Amino acid sequence: MSALRFEPDDKYNAFLTVCKAPEGGNGKLSGIPVAVKDNISTQGIETTCASKILKGYIPPYDAHAVELVKAAGAAIAGKTNMDEFGMGTSTENSAFGPTLNPRDTGRVPGGSSGGSAAAVASGMVRMALGTDTGGSIRCPASFCGIVGLKPTYGRVSRYGLIAYANSLETIGPMAANVLDVSLLMSVIAGHDRHDATSQDRPYSHTPSADIKGTRIGIPQEYFGAGVDPAVAAVVKKAIGRLEELGAVTVPCSIPSMEYALAAYYVICTSEASSNLARFDGVRYGPAVEIKKSWHAAFQDARREGFGPEVRRRIMLGTFALSSGYYGKYYAKAQIARENIRKDFARLFADVDVLCGPTMPTIAFKLGEKSDPLSMYLSDILTVPVNLAGIPAISVPCGTVQDMPVGLQIMGRPFEDERVIDVAYAYEQGGQP
Ligand code: GLN
């Protein structure tokens, strides 16, 4: 083990904790500083999910992905800022202040893995771990101009990831280029007996830029209402470049996408209301004094410890699951989810990947989206992927107003290799 000096000039509030002299070892990631999103457990290093309710919590164990990253010789550089518990699309919902976009500090870095993206985009670290429940790796990758992969559900262990919506979320790699994303993926993927949903599908792949004959579906919904025409134009041009590189494009449609956002927000809030029930503020966080009753003390701690967006979602989810409304919301959302999964499966019988923009817009200004609904609407192009459990990557493909635009490439379950290859082909041959 060798200690590295890591003293980043964090002008962007990307880090919540910096490990000043992280230990590195030998292996595939020898001596590489890797930043870790603050909802991923790190032994001996405070892990808060950017929430006051977890302030002071020091996990006694490493998440499986962190254990693997360390075993590969990487040095844990620090813990990165995020939307509280992963709930948001801008990193403005952090209890510890927003992260700024290194490309334009008046704009958000995207979320919820905004700290990880900013740490990579500013060159403070070479790689980072993020998590993606409804777009939280791909959105900040798109907004900050880096590469981010949301792996197939089950391909990377969630053990040690503090749950927000466990049926949707996964840990995944973020880096400045496709090869580094692939390298980090090769370290973190594979089976783990501590996660019952983890599959025995390790990843060992050398990216290939040969995409001759690859069939790319272009879903019309990804270029429809709500998508900034300037962003759509940049992405269409990138897809044209993939055609020049030998891919074949096929127009297609995902009719069930109409229900994706509503289904996502019912399911994620329902799961959150259950997952977040455990936080009581007794051992860490606001440290309540039990004066009246336990009940009243927990209520006070949770009111004080959770930010407004988290409280809103706990209430929404509790309502969606309550008796009498369960069938109306949660059960219907599950039906929509199944239809989305089927639509993707139908398309993937004909095409190898689907392409479209990652986000409907470029990074917005800090404070620009002050109502929750307009923030939720920016997730429209990313959440279908989580509902279906498929892999998707965001790779930079140009700019609008000098801000990066991400090309999203979605693939069949467990074909993370293929989305990586298409991204690599674009990265290598994207600019004619
Ligand atoms: N923006 C989405 C949400 O707020 C996705 C967040 C995420 O992927 N963690 O739920």
Kindly give the number of the ligand 1 atom that is closest to the alpha carbon of 89: 1
d(CA 8, CA 366): 23
Nearest to 165 by CA among 326, 16, 386, 4: 386
**Least confident span in 118-132, 221-235, 282-296, 331-345:** 282-296
83 Cα: distance to centroid of ligand 1 (angstroms): 8
Query: Mutate which of 268, 312, 316, 375 to test ligand 1's pocket (most atoms within 8 Å of Cβ)?
Result: 268
Q: How far is the CA of 399 from the centre of ligand 1 (A)?
A: 24
Number of C-beta neighbours around residue 399 at 10 A: 14
pLDDT given for residue 293 in this prediction: 85
Q: Which pLDDT score, from 0 to 100, does residue 432 have?
A: 53
CA of 270 to the centre of ligand 1 (A): 14
Instruction: State pLDDT tens for residues 5-33.
Output: 788 889 999 999 999 878 888 999 999 99
Q: Where would I find the beta strands (DSSP E) of 82-156?
A: 127-132, 147-150
Q: Is the CB of 132 under 6 A from ligand 1?
A: yes
Q: What is the mean pLDDT of residues 171-175?
A: 98
88's tokens: 């948001």
For residue 84 and ligand 1, the question of a CB distance below 6 A is answered with no
- Whether ligand 1 lies within 6 angstroms of the CB of 190 is answered as no
Which of 51, 82, 89 gets mutated to test ligand 1 (max ligand atoms within 8 A of its CB)?
A: 89
Neighbouring-strand partners of residue 189? 156
Going by alpha carbons, the residue nearest to atom 10 of ligand 1 is 87
Residue pair 180/420 in contact (Cβ under 8 Å)? The answer is no
**How many residues are there in the chain?**
432
Measure 135 CA to ligand 1 centroid, in angstroms: 6
Q: Ligand 1 pocket, 135 CB below 6 A?
A: yes
The more confident residue out of 24 and 345 is 345
As a whole number of angstroms, the longest Cα–Cα distance in the chain is 70
**What does the alpha-carbon distance between residue 296 and residue 431 come to, in Å, rounded to a whole number?**
61
179: CA distance to ligand 1 center in Å?
26
- Which residue's CA is the closest to the ligand 1 atom numbered 5? 134
Q: State in Å: Cα 136 to ligand 1 middle.
A: 5
- Active-site residues, by number, are 37, 112, 136
Number of other residues whose CB lies within 10 A of the CB of residue 253: 15
Mean per-residue pLDDT, 268-280: 96
* Separation of alpha carbons 310 and 44, rounded Å: 26
Find the DSSP H helices in 146-259.
178-188, 229-244
Task: Decide whether any atom of ligand 1 lies within 6 Å of the 82 Cβ.
Answer: no
Confidence category of residue 1, pLDDT binned at 50, 70, 90: low
Structural domains for the chain: 1-249+355-432 (3.90.1300.10)
Over residues 299-312, the mean pLDDT reads 94
Please state the atom number of ligand 1 nearest to the C-alpha of residue 386.
Answer: 8
Q: CB of 42 within 8 A of CB of 62?
A: yes
Cβ 133 under 6 angstroms from ligand 1 = yes
Note the pLDDT tens digit of each residue in 78-132: 999 999 999 999 999 999 999 999 999 999 999 999 999 999 999 999 999 999 9
Residue to mutate (ligand 1; options 131, 139, 386; most atoms within 8 A of CB): 139
148 close to ligand 1 (CB < 6 Angstrom): no
134 lines ligand 1 (CB under 6 A): yes
User: pLDDT at position 8, please?
Assistant: 87
The pLDDT assigned to 386 comes to 98
Q: Burial-class residue 193 by CB neighbours within 10 Å (0-12, 13-18, 19+).
A: exposed
The answer to whether 340 touches 253, Cβ cutoff 8 Å, is no
* pLDDT single digits (tens) 259-268: 999 999 999 9
Confidence band (pLDDT; 50, 70, 90) for 36? Answer: very high
> Higher pLDDT residue, 158 or 280?
158
The pairing of strands 127-132 and 170-175 is antiparallel
Compute the mean pLDDT over every residue in the chain, rounded to the nearest whole number: 96
> Ligand 1: which of 133, 275, 386 to mutate, judged by most atoms within 8 Å of the beta carbon?
133
CA distance 84 to 68: 25
Specify the 3-state DSSP secondary structure of 224.
Answer: coil
112 CA distance to ligand 1 centroid (A)?
6
Write down the pLDDT at residue 383. 98
In 42-75, which positions are buried (b, 16+ CB within 10 angstroms) versus exposed (e)?
bbebbbbbbbbbbbebebeebbbbbbbbbebbbb
Question: What is the model's pLDDT at position 267?
Answer: 98
Question: For residues 138 and 392, is the Cβ–Cβ distance under 8 A?
Answer: yes
Ligand 1 center to residue 104 CA distance, Å? Answer: 22
Would you state the pLDDT for residue 298? Answer: 87
Q: What is the pLDDT of residues 46-57, one digit of tens each?
A: 999 999 999 999
Instruction: Give whole-number Cα distances, 155 to 44, 73, 140, 385, 416, in Å.
Output: 26, 21, 21, 14, 9
As a whole number of Å, the end-to-end CA separation of the chain is 44
Per-residue DSSP letter, 164: S
Q: What gap in Å lies between CA 148 and CA 141, rounded to an integer?
A: 5
Reported confidence tier of residue 221, pLDDT bands at 50, 70, 90 = very high
> Is 272 close to ligand 1, i.e. is its CB under 6 Å away?
no
Give residue-wise pLDDT tens across range 182-207. Answer: 999 999 999 999 999 999 999 999 99
Q: What is the reported pLDDT for 284?
A: 83
pLDDT at 431: 65
Q: Is 383 in the pocket of ligand 1 (CB under 6 A)?
A: no
Residue 249's pLDDT is: 98
Q: What is the pLDDT of residue 2?
A: 63
